[in-house]
Structure 1
Amino acid sequence: MLTPSFHFNVLNDFQAVFDYQAKILVDQLEVAAAGNSEAIDTFPYIKRCALDIICETAMGTTVNAQTNHNHPYVIAVAEMNNLAFKFQRMPWLWLKPIRHLTGFEADHQRNLNIVTSFTKNVIERKTKEFEESGGVDVDGSNKKKAFLDMLIEMREDGGLVYEDLREEVDTFMFEGHDTTSAGIGWALWCLASHPEYQKRCHEELDTIFESSTRECTVDDIRKMKYLEKCVKEALRIRPSVPQFARTVDEEFEIDGTILPRGCSLLVSPAFIQNNPRTFPNHETYDPERFSEEEIAKRHAYSYIPFSAGPRNCIGQKFAMQEEKTVISWVLRRFELSSDLELLDNLPLPETIMRPTRGFPLKLTVRN
């Protein structure tokens, strides 16, 4: 039911949001880097940019996270992510009395109330607008629709109630900014560690934009063939989602072991995509792994940063378009470098593949 919401025509409408927020990001990075010879951690900037993008595209509202770092929703989202990972790796927190005694439950409830109240208010406002207009574009503006607008339009056909709308929007809000910010950050980190590949990206982007500061369009995105290879290779070596779970629908055998129906499997792109039998020198960052010739040699499921099959990531085209837009703006404005080697920044597999040291990059404004 939701798949049409990610048709390429819808993504085309979102491109203006990607472009606008990416420009705010590079302006903020330029201010932070001005007169500063030291590396700056770009990860918080990227996360705020991704949060603004998903707020506008998923809910049709803005929190201005890039300019308003103290917005309650921005802080609550960050806290919820921290609490979720803490809960996952500390089994004693699964006991309710301990959650209350340690204050975990109070922190969780406080932040949850902020997040759900914000979503509730947006849903109520959007629903009221939809009902008052009779479901039509009353002002004739034919303006772009957010994901929430589409959900409201299809709610009767799909039998959706308020709680369904809230859960879907909250899912996209969380999964739609943490994952893309990690993807953008790791791609920039890989390029900063490999100036030869960064140079080829600069050359490609200079050919497309001719050193102008004009907006990045959907047509421009399609022309970024080499940058796409670089993004895909970064997602191979450091997938945004390091692991995900699946339930076995039918009993089957693998390597002599019977896996019964109903059991859970943990699938790890972080291991699958770093298999030395499939990817020789797997720790080496090499965008040419994604040339057409190399892709044809591999099994289709040897590379699954967005999962695969009927339960794959519904937002993968959205993510790639956003990441290419934001990365292209950063590379149009800056040359990137780092004092650390690629592998010195160890990956921390939380809900997303987080860098242990952030993404400390030196940014030099390009001529």
Structure 2
Amino acid sequence: MQMFQGVRSLYLNYSMFGFPASGTQLIVITVFSILAILLCYDKWNRRRYETLTNELNGPPDYPIIGSCLESFGDHYEKIMFYGDLFNYGLFKCWFGSYLSVFITKPEDLQIILNSSKALNKGYVYKMATKLIGEGLVTAPVDKWKIHRRLMNPLFKYDIIKEKFFPIFQEKSKVLVQKIQKGVDNTQPIDILDCISSVTLSTVCQTTMDYNLDTHTDMGFKMGVIKGVELVINRVPKVWLYPDVIYNLYIKLFGYENIYKIVRNLPRHIIAKKKNDYVNKFSKKNTTDTDVNDGKSECFKGLVETLLDSNKPEERFTDEDIMGHVITMVGAGFETTSLTASFCFLMLAIYPDIQDKVYDEICSALGDSDEPITMEQTNKLVYLKQVIYETLRLFPTAPIISRQLHDDVTIRNHKLLKGTMCVISPLITHHNPELYSNPNSFNPDNFNAENVAKRHKYSFIAFSGGPRGCIGKKYGLVFLTVIITEVLRSFSVHTDMKFSDIKLKLGITLHNTVGFPITTKSRKNRHNVCNNAEMLNY
């Protein structure tokens, strides 16, 4: 008690320049002192970039907070507005004291995405490590190089064809059965609800060699969705950048549990695969023979691949493995589910395009009820155009970034070390110089003739360069299979118009009004397919 009174007396009698200061005055003085320190810090951080920022246009920015006031409102509309306002060229944006430069032209994108000086992902991705750990998406360059080299073989063409494709076939049947329950019903279903559980199960069984069908997802899907929202909400709030403040924030508002939920399923997968791994080698040591003797080489999923690494620089900690599992499963199911849902919605909105896709499927597969084969997927050229056009308008990763760890020059502008290069497929894909009528859905944008006219980096839905998407081939094949098998059984319909779509910008791109679809059984499928074959002949 005496100590408290002593502190209180000291506080009340504190003086500035010989004058007594009240509690209110001390608070005001403290606040202004902090602001002065922050202003000095902000000015000091920005000094290096003055030449560059004077050369570039950008949204309004202010000391300390930068352009964060622009984050209020519709993020999708804002980013599209500024892309158009600055003529789809370079423009700057300050996130607090961090300088970002938007790179949108294909020629500039090629430089950045292929530069060895631009392999770091930067501070925004660092914010995501609390949710997904240091997987391929967020890992620092040195770690990423080693881990990517080990994981590349998992996504080779032969592995996709021999190991993954039969699972794609099996899971597409499961999706058809799910949709069958609501067939010919006038009440629409949200196709994303049907697809997301199937894609999550598929990703687990292919990349992890883990059968999710016999288990629950332990809240993983919902945890990922809510966790991603937390990451996105943090980006424009510069006061939440310090980890100490952010950790206090999520604890006070009860968000801490979301981060724990996301880890439940990956933790279970890792524990099971570790147990299988130990049992396999126990059996090998007991019999003194290779457990795979006399058999074809056994496929190793992601966890076993990481556990098998035996070089000192390749040793993976439990946290490393956790990061890769969350990243692979979370990113894999989320991006595939959304792209498939947007595809079905586009086909429902544009029945003439759907008919053209269906005719192509009939021509390639005939009236057989046999599952599609890997070779037949290569014949579905127009369907691939539909998938690419869907990804052009609705890229699942609408914004990506690279932080320079050395100076890079673009269009006579010297981008200094530390600059965050923001790459938005949304802006690039809507550039009218690259795509005529960029706001319309037109699969012919990706016919051979039009593709040949454009720069390679006019389409960056899978990013590009060394840190491009490792699962590009996997995703395209899986999408082709599930769309084909669904359209063989059903036609899809909707009352929604293209103009009704309301996009929400985040780590992924969502339609806030959902994906309402009704389905009708193709009862005369065999007759239609025979006619399509005759026309093709």
Deviation digits for residues 162-185 of structure 1 (CA, Å, limit 9, x no counterpart): 433332222111111101111111
Correspondence for 1:27: 177
The change in CA–CA distance for 1:114 and 1:364 in structure 2 (over 3 A counts) is same
Letter in 1 for 2:467: R
CA contact (8 A) 1:240 1:352 kept: yes
Deviation digits for residues 138-189 of structure 1 (CA, Å, limit 9, x no counterpart): 5726554433343334454862224333322221111111011111111111
Letter in 1 for 2:301: A
The change in CA–CA distance for 1:93 and 1:120 in structure 2 (over 3 A counts) is farther
For the residue of structure 2 that corresponds to 1:308, the secondary structure is coil
CA contact (8 A) 1:333 1:365 kept: yes
TM-score scaled by length of structure 2: 0.63
- Could you tell me which of 270, 292, 303 is aligned with 1:148? 303
Would you say 1:260 and 2:408 are equivalent positions?
no
Q: How many angstroms does 1:44 deviate by? A: 1.2
The change in CA–CA distance for 1:169 and 1:113 in structure 2 (over 3 A counts) is closer
Q: Percent identity?
A: 24
Correspondence for 1:82: 226
For the residue of structure 2 that corresponds to 1:9, the secondary structure is helix
Further displaced range: 108-117 or 170-179:
108-117
- Could you tell me which of 164, 176, 195 is aligned with 1:46? 195
Give me the whole-angstrom Cα distance separating, in 1, the residues matched to 2:159 and 2:307: 16
Correspondence for 2:441: 285
The change in CA–CA distance for 1:286 and 1:35 in structure 2 (over 3 A counts) is closer
Deviation digits for residues 29-53 of structure 1 (CA, Å, limit 9, x no counterpart): 110x245212111101111111011
Would you say 1:128 and 2:284 are equivalent positions?
no
How do residues 292-331 of structure 1 correspond to structure 2 at under 5 angstroms? 292-331=448-487
Instruction: Say what the alpha-carbon RMSD is for the aligned residues.
Output: 2.2
Would you say 1:60 and 2:204 are equivalent positions?
no
Deviation digits for residues 312-349 of structure 1 (CA, Å, limit 9, x no counterpart): 11110011011111111111111111101123112212
How do residues 1-367 of structure 1 correspond to structure 2 at under 5 angstroms? 1=149, 2-12=151-161, 13-31=163-181, 33-34=182-183, 36-64=185-213, 71-73=216-218, 75-90=219-234, 91=237, 95=245, 96-105=247-256, 107-132=257-282, 134=284, 136-138=291-293, 140=295, 142=297, 144-156=299-311, 159-163=314-318, 164-255=320-411, 257-367=413-523
Q: How many angstroms does 1:191 deviate by? A: 1.2
Aligned residues: 360
CA contact (8 A) 1:337 1:362 kept: yes
Further displaced range: 309-318 or 129-138:
129-138
Structure 1, unaligned runs of 5 or more: none
Structure 2, unaligned runs of 5 or more: 1-148, 285-289, 524-537
Give me the whole-angstrom Cα distance separating, in 2, the residues matched to 1:123 and 1:312: 28
Deviation digits for residues 208-259 of structure 1 (CA, Å, limit 9, x no counterpart): 2223321222112111111111111111111111111111133123455432
Give me the whole-angstrom Cα distance separating, in 2, the residues matched to 1:353 and 1:129: 42
Give me the whole-angstrom Cα distance separating, in 1, the residues matched to 2:446 and 2:461: 14
Give me the whole-angstrom Cα distance separating, in 2, the residues matched to 1:172 and 1:239: 18
CA contact (8 A) 2:270 2:303 kept: no
The change in CA–CA distance for 1:356 and 1:112 in structure 2 (over 3 A counts) is closer
The change in CA–CA distance for 1:244 and 1:314 in structure 2 (over 3 A counts) is same
